[in-house]
Amino acid sequence: METKCAMGCPWRIYGSWMKRDLTFIVKSYNDEHICSRNMTNRQATTRWMSKYYVEKFRRNTNWSVKEMEKDLLTKFYLSISRMKAYRSKWEALRKLQGSIEEHYAMLGLYLEQLRIVNPTSMFSIVYKRAFTGAHSVFQHLYIGFDGLKKGFMHGCRPIIGFDGCFLKTFLGGQLLSTVGRDHNNQMFPIAWAVVEGENYHAWSWFLGILFDDLAIDPGYDLTLISDQQKGLDYATKQRVPGAEHRNCACHIYAN
């Protein structure tokens, strides 16, 4: 078996299969190259690149095709067209989007299992009708374990901190969380929720379930701490008008 380089280049390798030794032996090899490196490869298909970079896009969905082209050039000395890079990115994002939608579809079963093993805990999921089609899509999710509720009510100070962060997925959304302060001045998680966005409607829904579960109304002797989240101030005034609401000093200093 013989393999050569491009026309006019002396690079050559020749080998053969040895039946007696059951091995392949290279019998001659010339490693001299006089041709320039070929920066294209037909095996670098859109399917291969989307599979290779799918985990990269899972960690950073905003990773640009320009950075992908640079990475291919650095690792594999491979040059691809801009359109091929876009197709590879779209294919990788399509794979990720499909897997995330499948995972969200299993939330109902997940909550049912939680209710079986935590019958006194508070779990809630809200769906809404999709704009196209007859199926429903996920909107809100609330998780409040009974053990955390009892720990806050019997072992924490009357202080609740609120915060929210973005969910870096294709479906977007935000994670809302509440924490208390125990008598050792340590943070104590209370409950959390996944919502479409940080606004009055989302906070009002979250606070309604939270304060009903904690039996707090109208919130006298309760202090709330937050980072000026959108819609939170008005939602707390509507739900617990007797609570004192203050902004986090660390966030005020940082901003």
For residue range 147-200, list pLDDT tens digits in order.
999 999 999 999 999 999 988 776 788 999 999 999 899 999 999 999 998 899
The amino acid at 233 = D
**136 and 238 inside one domain:** yes
**168 and 209 inside one domain:** yes
Indicate the pLDDT class of residue 41, thresholds 50, 70 and 90: confident
Mean pLDDT of 106-127: 94
Q: How many domains does the chain have?
A: 3
**197 and 224 inside one domain:** yes
Q: Is the pLDDT of residue 59 over 90?
A: no
Asked if 88 and 67 touch (Cβ cutoff 8 Å), the reply is: no
Q: Is the pLDDT of residue 209 over 90?
A: yes
| Structure confidence at residue 4 (pLDDT) | 87
Evaluate the CA torsion angle 141, 239, 187, 144 in order and state its sign.
negative
- Give pLDDT tens digits for 92-112: 988 887 777 778 888 989 999
Per DSSP, what are the bridge partners of residue 129? Answer: 136
**27 and 152 inside one domain:** no
**53 and 67 inside one domain:** yes
User: What is d(CA 162, CA 192) in angstroms, rounded to the nearest whole number?
Assistant: 10
The amino acid at 48 = W
**113 and 189 inside one domain:** yes
- pTM equals 0.67
- Give pLDDT tens digits for 213-250: 999 989 899 999 998 777 898 999 999 999 999 888 88
| Structure confidence at residue 131 (pLDDT) | 64
Q: Which of 216, 199, 197, 198 is nearest to 144 (CA)?
A: 216
**90 and 29 inside one domain:** no
| Structure confidence at residue 133 (pLDDT) | 59
| Structure confidence at residue 210 (pLDDT) | 96
**185 and 208 inside one domain:** yes
Range of the domain at 246: 107-254
**93 and 112 inside one domain:** no
**190 and 239 inside one domain:** yes
Q: Is the pLDDT of residue 44 over 80?
A: yes
Asked if 241 and 224 touch (Cβ cutoff 8 Å), the reply is: no
Evaluate the CA torsion angle 87, 92, 93, 97 in order and state its sign.
positive
